[in-house]
Structure 1
Amino acid sequence: MCHERMISLCNFIDQKIDDGTFVPLVTAVNHFMRQTGKFLVLFVYFISAFLAFTSFFIIIPYEQLYKPIWFLIILGVFGLYFLFNIQYHYYKARTIPPVANPGEEGDVFCEKCNYWKSDRAHHCSVCEKCVLGMDHHCIWINQCVGSHNHRHFFLFVANLTLAAGTIIIAGYPSFYDHLFSDTSQTTYCTTILNNAPLQDIICDYDGFAKTSVVFCYLLSFILLIMVGGLTLWNVYLISIGCTYIDYLKLTGSKKKLSARRRLNKGLKSNWKNFLGLRRNRTFFKCVIMPTALPPVRYESLDNRPDVFDVV
């Protein structure tokens, strides 16, 4: 009985989808996601600015009570490095459009675009186009993560994860003292600190330093868990040569597993292709330094073109 009702419900939903009943709802949801994405882009810039301000002008100066100056200088240098990389790769990820691939006659036909799409292309209803090498639509960058901007997206989340981890490890004394400020002997505003240029201004606002430190630390912890998890998931997908869309598509049948093996060139080649380490490009230039690369096709192991190999 339940099985028959489930089949009836599925048939009803399929009928409503086919006759266009849900089109206005889907259109409204996609419009809402596009508009929300614009707000979230500004929110990301605001949060990153807050974390940078709190780290450089409150936490690092306060940590001189617990750490030597040379170590704080190193923290400052790494902090500036992470900040620049995060901003650079986030800007690139949200402004560089992923390659829209119309495909060729004989490929799978996309009824929404009314054109052919290649094997690695997937239609995004929010962006309203077929995206080559699509991983997912990210509301935080307000566009799809796919060919050409996927590398920047990964480096953005990876640097953000490392920055959050650094704040958590290096800033724990500051967090502890300010969280338990009622029993702590020192806080940012009750201690005369050297090399704290904004201490007088910050401490003019009652409770601002305490709130900023505690919120910065807790936010960093949340980012480490959520963005760190996303980073590890991307590490796994890149290691097997897949995007998230590929992973969802290529599971189950022997035919799909064969396609999965075709995508997977091996751990080393997968990472070299994803990071663009071709044509004498070095790890330092492509990963350590913030560098933009033109979209190029993967070079398959046997030097023959492969439509599955796309950066």
Structure 2
Amino acid sequence: MAYLIALSFNSRALHDAVKLNVATDKMFVFLVVVLTSSILVIVYLILLPMIISTYPPIWVAWHLCYGHWNLVMIVFHYYKATKTAPGYPPTEKNDSPFVSVCKKCIIPKPARTHHCGICNRCILKMDHHCPWLNNCVGHLNHRYFFSFCLSLALGCVYCSISGRYMFLDAYNALEHFKHLDVEKSGVPVTGMGVLIGLLPPGQTNYQTAAPTYTFKEKMIHKSIIYMWVLTSTVSVTLGSLTMWHAILISRGETSIERHTNSKETKRMANRGRIYKNPFNYGKLNNWKIFLGVGKTSHWLTRVLLPSGHTPPGDGLTWDAFPVKKDLIPV
């Protein structure tokens, strides 16, 4: 009886912990949506009108095309990464090979499958649990996760580079307005041409000091500073994370396998042997498998454009040991 009571208590505690983790993850998702939306509002209300009215037509077309392509890629891959199940092993016995039995799920675990303590279930080819997605990253949504990270990082780099002059102008404008009460009328004001005169970045517009500082002007300057600081910060942090995952993909590893392979490499080295990752098929083949590229046109239709195709294989069985030939049929 005591054992049953303890088991019931542990199950309830685990259930409550899972609910708490889910609630926390939803807050992270909400934060992603709010921060991304705030940047879009600033771009459409402040930056885009300035670009259309001041830039040459060819540059306007470039910003419109690239910016909206980048936005579509971000939204599509984030939605798919959050809504696509990572892939779960069958709960009933079947003919699929397995390497062990999960001590928590009490079901057979295929190769590359790991148990997620937050989702409280086994995940096929699990990479990690991402609170920003409120979802695990596994076999079926790993590509969506990486494409979202890459698209968002590129978008932040784009905003950071293209908005660097506007950031300096906004910062100098705020510093000027702080000392407006002690400045004399007629003193040249530099660096405000982009924000007040709507001139191209880097161009100086000499104007006399304005007698008043409206709330709208203040919010425009602060919004541009906020956008530049946020996108620059995300560019560094998310860009580093994206590069790390790109290295793992090139090696045919997940984040979890990176740790286990490192330990196995050291263990084999102590015995005078060399460990080889059985799921490393070569850099090019690793990327083809990860992206689902089977022919040349897929680099456009499945990589550069949004695509909902599923990854090759079922996530239950994997070809072991490196091979030189292409693993995806044309």
Q: TM-score band (shorter)?
A: 0.7 to 0.9
> Tell me, which stretches of 5 or more residues in structure 2 are unaligned?
1-6, 177-188, 201-213
Tell me if the contact between 2:98 and 2:109 (Cα under 8 Å) persists in the aligned partners: no
SS of 1:261 mapped into structure 2 = coil
The 1:23/1:250 distance shift into structure 2, 3 A limit, reads: farther
RMSD: 3.4
1:98 and 1:148 in contact (8 A); partners too: yes
Q: Deviations over 1:103-149 (max 9, x none)?
A: 75763111211111112100001111100111100000001001110
Please state whether the residue corresponding to 2:31 is helix, strand or coil.
helix
**TM-superposition CA deviations, 1:183-213 (whole Å, max 9, x none):** 545266633689xxxxxxxx87452211211
Q: 2:290 aligns with which of 266, 274, 280?
A: 274
Q: 1:279 to 1:68 in 2, by over 3 A?
A: closer
Of 46, 52, 55, the match for 2:34: 46
User: 2:196 maps to which residue?
Assistant: 190
SS at match of 1:123: strand
Give the aligned residue type for 2:75.
Answer: Q
Trace 1:60-209 onto structure 2 (pairs within 5 A).
60-63=48-51, 67-102=55-90, 104=96, 107-181=99-173, 182=176, 184-186=190-192, 190-191=196-197, 205=216, 207-209=218-220
Take 2:34 and 2:20, find their aligned partners in 1: how far apart are those partners? 21
Q: State how far apart, in whole Å, the 2-side matches of 1:241 and 1:20 are.
A: 41
Question: Within 5 A, what are the aligned runs for 1:244-255?
Answer: 244-253=255-264
Spell out, residue by residue over 1:224-249, the C-alpha distance to the aligned partner (whole angstroms, 9 max, x if none). 01110110011000000001011111
Paired residue secondary structure (1:144): strand
**Bigger shift: 160-169 or 275-284?**
275-284
Larger Rg: 2
Q: 1:22 to 1:177 in 2, by over 3 A?
A: farther
- Alpha-carbon separation, structure 1, partners of 2:291 and 2:61: 30
Give the conservation status (yes or no) of the 8 Å contact 1:120–1:308: no
Give me the whole-angstrom Cα distance separating, in 2, the residues matched to 1:119 and 1:215: 46
Residues 281-305 of structure 1: CA distance to partner in whole angstroms, max 9, x if unpaired?
6100111110001243189xxxx96
Aligned residues: 281
| Equivalence map 1:20-59=2 (5 Å) | 29-59=17-47
Distance 2:97 2:286 in 1: 29
Equivalence for 2:185? none
Q: Offset of 1:68 from its aligned partner?
A: 2.9
What stretches of structure 1 of length at least 5 have no aligned partner? 1-18, 195-202
User: In the superposition, relative to structure 1, how do residues 222 and 287 fare at CA in structure 2: closer, same or farther (>3 Å)?
Assistant: same
Percent same amino acid among aligned pairs? 27
- Does 2:289 correspond to 1:297? no
User: What is the TM-score normalised by the length of structure 1?
Assistant: 0.79
For the structure 1 residues 259 and 87, does the alpha-carbon distance in structure 2 shift closer, same or farther, using more than 3 Å as the test?
farther
Moved more, 35-44 or 96-105: 96-105
Structure 1 residues 180, 227: closer, same or farther in 2, change over 3 A? same
CA shift, 1:24, in A, is 7.5
